[in-house]
Amino acid sequence: MMIMEKATEEIRELKGFLPRSIVYAGQINENFAEGVAGFYKAIWEERDGGISTKQKHLIVFAIACSNNNIQSAVKILERLKKFGATRTEINDAMMLAAWTGGIQNFTDFSSAVLKEMERLGF
Protein backbone atom coordinates (compact mmCIF):
# COMPACT_ATOMS: atom_id res chain seq x y z
CA MET A 1 0.00 0.00 0.00
CA MET A 2 3.01 2.34 0.37
CA ILE A 3 3.42 2.73 -3.41
CA MET A 4 -0.25 3.66 -3.74
CA GLU A 5 0.01 6.21 -0.93
CA LYS A 6 3.10 7.78 -2.54
CA ALA A 7 1.41 7.97 -5.93
CA THR A 8 -1.75 9.56 -4.54
CA GLU A 9 0.25 12.08 -2.52
CA GLU A 10 2.20 13.08 -5.65
CA ILE A 11 -1.06 13.67 -7.51
CA ARG A 12 -2.55 15.56 -4.57
CA GLU A 13 0.47 17.91 -4.67
CA LEU A 14 0.40 18.19 -8.46
CA LYS A 15 -3.33 18.84 -8.88
CA GLY A 16 -4.12 20.34 -5.47
CA PHE A 17 -6.66 17.59 -4.77
CA LEU A 18 -7.02 13.85 -5.21
CA PRO A 19 -9.18 13.10 -8.27
CA ARG A 20 -12.12 10.81 -7.56
CA SER A 21 -11.06 8.49 -10.38
CA ILE A 22 -7.94 7.53 -8.40
CA VAL A 23 -9.99 6.92 -5.25
CA TYR A 24 -12.47 4.75 -7.16
CA ALA A 25 -9.69 2.88 -8.95
CA GLY A 26 -8.09 2.16 -5.56
CA GLN A 27 -11.33 0.60 -4.38
CA ILE A 28 -11.15 -1.75 -7.35
CA ASN A 29 -7.44 -2.59 -7.50
CA GLU A 30 -4.25 -0.99 -6.15
CA ASN A 31 -2.36 -1.50 -9.42
CA PHE A 32 -5.21 0.09 -11.35
CA ALA A 33 -5.12 3.11 -9.01
CA GLU A 34 -1.36 3.43 -9.50
CA GLY A 35 -1.90 3.36 -13.27
CA VAL A 36 -4.56 6.07 -13.12
CA ALA A 37 -2.31 8.16 -10.84
CA GLY A 38 0.55 7.71 -13.32
CA PHE A 39 -1.75 8.87 -16.12
CA TYR A 40 -2.56 12.06 -14.19
CA LYS A 41 1.11 12.64 -13.44
CA ALA A 42 2.13 12.17 -17.08
CA ILE A 43 -0.45 14.71 -18.22
CA TRP A 44 -0.22 17.39 -15.54
CA GLU A 45 3.46 17.37 -14.66
CA GLU A 46 5.35 20.34 -16.10
CA ARG A 47 8.26 19.51 -18.38
CA ASP A 48 11.08 21.71 -19.67
CA GLY A 49 9.91 23.27 -22.90
CA GLY A 50 6.37 21.96 -22.43
CA ILE A 51 3.02 23.58 -21.84
CA SER A 52 2.65 25.23 -18.43
CA THR A 53 0.05 24.02 -15.96
CA LYS A 54 -1.93 27.23 -16.49
CA GLN A 55 -1.91 26.71 -20.26
CA LYS A 56 -3.02 23.09 -19.82
CA HIS A 57 -5.94 24.23 -17.69
CA LEU A 58 -6.87 26.88 -20.29
CA ILE A 59 -6.86 24.18 -22.96
CA VAL A 60 -9.02 21.75 -20.97
CA PHE A 61 -11.31 24.64 -20.02
CA ALA A 62 -11.81 25.51 -23.70
CA ILE A 63 -12.43 21.84 -24.53
CA ALA A 64 -14.96 21.49 -21.70
CA CYS A 65 -16.77 24.62 -22.91
CA SER A 66 -16.75 23.53 -26.56
CA ASN A 67 -18.16 20.15 -25.51
CA ASN A 68 -20.82 21.95 -23.45
CA ASN A 69 -19.53 20.26 -20.28
CA ILE A 70 -20.63 23.11 -18.05
CA GLN A 71 -19.94 21.37 -14.73
CA SER A 72 -16.34 20.64 -15.71
CA ALA A 73 -15.78 24.14 -17.14
CA VAL A 74 -16.98 25.77 -13.93
CA LYS A 75 -14.79 23.47 -11.83
CA ILE A 76 -11.72 24.23 -13.96
CA LEU A 77 -12.16 27.95 -13.24
CA GLU A 78 -10.98 27.29 -9.67
CA ARG A 79 -7.77 25.72 -11.03
CA LEU A 80 -7.33 28.65 -13.42
CA LYS A 81 -7.62 31.06 -10.49
CA LYS A 82 -5.00 29.08 -8.57
CA PHE A 83 -2.57 29.11 -11.50
CA GLY A 84 -2.91 32.84 -12.17
CA ALA A 85 -5.00 32.93 -15.32
CA THR A 86 -6.36 36.34 -16.23
CA ARG A 87 -9.90 37.20 -17.19
CA THR A 88 -8.64 37.99 -20.70
CA GLU A 89 -7.06 34.54 -21.04
CA ILE A 90 -10.31 32.90 -19.91
CA ASN A 91 -12.35 35.08 -22.27
CA ASP A 92 -10.03 34.08 -25.13
CA ALA A 93 -10.53 30.40 -24.25
CA MET A 94 -14.31 30.92 -24.20
CA MET A 95 -14.21 32.55 -27.63
CA LEU A 96 -12.15 29.64 -28.99
CA ALA A 97 -14.74 27.29 -27.51
CA ALA A 98 -17.49 29.21 -29.32
CA TRP A 99 -15.48 28.86 -32.53
CA THR A 100 -14.96 25.10 -32.19
CA GLY A 101 -18.13 24.08 -30.36
CA GLY A 102 -20.58 26.42 -32.01
CA ILE A 103 -22.45 29.47 -30.84
CA GLN A 104 -25.25 27.38 -29.30
CA ASN A 105 -22.75 25.69 -26.94
CA PHE A 106 -21.39 29.15 -26.13
CA THR A 107 -24.89 30.30 -25.28
CA ASP A 108 -25.39 27.22 -23.10
CA PHE A 109 -22.15 27.40 -21.10
CA SER A 110 -21.47 31.15 -20.92
CA SER A 111 -24.12 31.99 -18.34
CA ALA A 112 -22.83 29.51 -15.74
CA VAL A 113 -19.17 30.24 -16.50
CA LEU A 114 -19.59 34.02 -16.31
CA LYS A 115 -21.46 33.68 -13.01
CA GLU A 116 -18.64 31.53 -11.56
CA MET A 117 -16.00 33.94 -12.90
CA GLU A 118 -17.73 36.75 -11.04
CA ARG A 119 -17.88 34.67 -7.84
CA LEU A 120 -14.16 33.89 -8.10
CA GLY A 121 -13.25 37.54 -8.72
CA PHE A 122 -12.06 37.39 -12.31
**How much is the pTM?**
0.82
Amino acid identity, position 68: N
Contact status, residue 15 vs residue 44, Cβ threshold 8 Å: yes
pLDDT in tens, 2-50: 556 776 777 777 777 778 888 898 899 988 988 998 898 889 888 999 9
Percent of the chain predicted with pLDDT > 90: 66
**Residues 6 or more apart from 78 whose CB is under 8 A from it?**
120
